[in-house]
Structure 1
């Protein structure tokens, strides 16, 4: 499966669960870890878990084995490693503290609205 198809699927999954401030960083040529980082947040632990669950299920429906999922129980920062795409789903308070967008500031941002287009 190509990384763009996976990216579009997980962005839609996050959006379907009302994730806020969805950002996609294009990590190609910057990091060997993955092609894209999806970063978003929820306003409660339950919402963070709902977003995380939907992202995981949508990737699995594509036949993808999730490499790693961490932080689900605490629901403050859930990391879902899907290989070409890594999702970082934060609780609102944690997102501003870790500020991954600034940490990876040299990575170009993708147009999320294009990923959500049918």
Structure 2
């Protein structure tokens, strides 16, 4: 994998989601809770089309950095798309599906991080 800082990867993912008007982008640090990943990035779209567009935007921007996901799941139904980048797992939900699974509650022991630092002041 390219030698790019985790901070830069998080910034790239969050800005990609924001650029496509993702709702309620959450960044949860889970490094101390699981070996699955260091961070979950959670966001949602308001339609299946937007949900796919959000995931596409993340994949495109990460590919620009030379980074491919380890695995991708959920494109068919587009209600919960997972992009696994190893230390960072991106969960892109359709709004109702996000409410149903409520990952934020499941991972409430994680560290809620402020995403504002990843978004440029111009946004």
TM-score, scaled relative to structure 2: 0.92
Q: Which residue of 2 aligns with 1:61?
A: 64
Q: CA deviation at 1:75?
A: 0.5
Q: Distance in 2 between matches of 1:83 and 1:116?
A: 22
Task: Select the residue among 2, 6, 9 that pairs with 2:5.
Answer: 2
String of CA shifts for 1:54-104, please: whole Å, max 9, x gaps. Answer: 001111111112101110121100000011210000000000000000000
Check conservation: 1:19, 1:41, Cα contact below 8 A.
yes
Confirm whether residue 24 of structure 1 aligns to residue 27 of structure 2.
Answer: yes
Check conservation: 2:59, 2:68, Cα contact below 8 A.
no
The runs of 4+ residues in structure 1 deviating greater than 6 Å are none
Aligned positions, number:
118
Q: Which residue of 2 aligns with 1:71?
A: 74
Q: Distance in 2 between matches of 1:57 and 1:34?
A: 21
Mean Cα displacement is larger for which, 13-22 or 24-33?
Answer: 24-33
CA RMSD of aligned residues (A): 1.0
SS at match of 1:28: coil
Q: Distance in 2 between matches of 1:97 and 1:65?
A: 29
Confirm whether residue 51 of structure 1 aligns to residue 54 of structure 2.
Answer: yes
TM-score, scaled relative to structure 1: 0.96
Q: Give the unaligned 5+ runs of structure 1.
A: none
Q: Give the unaligned 5+ runs of structure 2.
A: none
